[in-house]
Copies of this chain bind each other. A is one copy, B any other.
Amino acid sequence: MKAYLTREYIFSASHRLHADGLSDEQNSSVYGKCNNPHGHGHNYSLEVTVSGQVSPETGMVCNLVDLDEAVQHTVLQRFDHRNLNMLADFAALVPTTENLTEAIYNILKQSFHSAHLEKVRIEETSKNSFEYAGGETPCR
C-alpha cells in the first residue's frame, strides 16, 4: 500500500560556473558560456518525491500543506531570486545543478519528516534535468 507523491516547485536564480581550483583557461574550456563573467540565470523546476503508506483514514501519504511549508521555509526562501554564488552553500562548491540538487536533498532530508524523502529532481532547462537520492537508487 506504499504510494509515491511528487510535487513541483519553481524558483529563479542566477549562477556562474567557475571552479577556483582551475585556471581561467580551464574554466572557460570546462564550462563554456556558463563561465561568462557576471553570470546568467535559470527558472529551476524542483520536483520532490516522497513515499509512504496511504492512511486508511485520510487517504493521503502526507499532507501537501506540510510538504509545502518545509520546502517554502527551508528551500525556496534560501534559493529563490538569489545569486547562488553568493550563498554559503556554494562558498566552497561550484553551483552546478548537480550540487544544487544534492544540497536541496540534504536540506529536505533534515527538515521534512512527514513521509520518506525518495529523491529530488531539478530541471535546469527544458532539456537538462538532474536527480539525487542520497546513497539509494532513485527508484520511482
A residues whose Cβ falls under 8 Å from a Cβ of B: 1-8, 10, 12-15, 17, 19, 21-22, 30, 32-34, 36, 38-43, 54, 57-61, 63-65, 80-83, 85-86, 93-96, 98-99, 101-102, 125-132, 135, 137-140
Report which of B1, B2, B33, B140 forms a contact with A81, defined as CB distance below 8 A: B33
User: Do B94 and A58 touch across chains, with their CB atoms under 8 A apart?
Assistant: yes
| A15, A57, A58, A102 interface centre (most CB from chain B within 10 Å) | A58
Interface of A is mostly: mixed
Of B40, B85, B86, B140, which contacts A12 at CB under 8 A?
B40
**How many identical subunits does the complex contain?**
6
Give 9 CB contacts A-B under 8 Å.
Answer: A3-B132, A8-B127, A12-B40, A14-B83, A41-B41, A41-B42, A42-B43, A59-B95, A139-B139
Q: Point out the residues of chain B lying under 8 angstroms from A93, CB to CB.
A: 59
Contact A3:B98 (CB < 8 A) given known A39-B14, A57-B22, A140-B140: yes
Q: Is B126's CB under 8 angstroms from A43's CB?
A: yes
Q: Least Cβ distance of A3 to chain B in Å?
A: 5
Complex contact A5–B128 (CB within 8 A)? yes
Given A43-B126, A138-B139: A38 and B82 interface contact (C-beta under 8 Å): yes
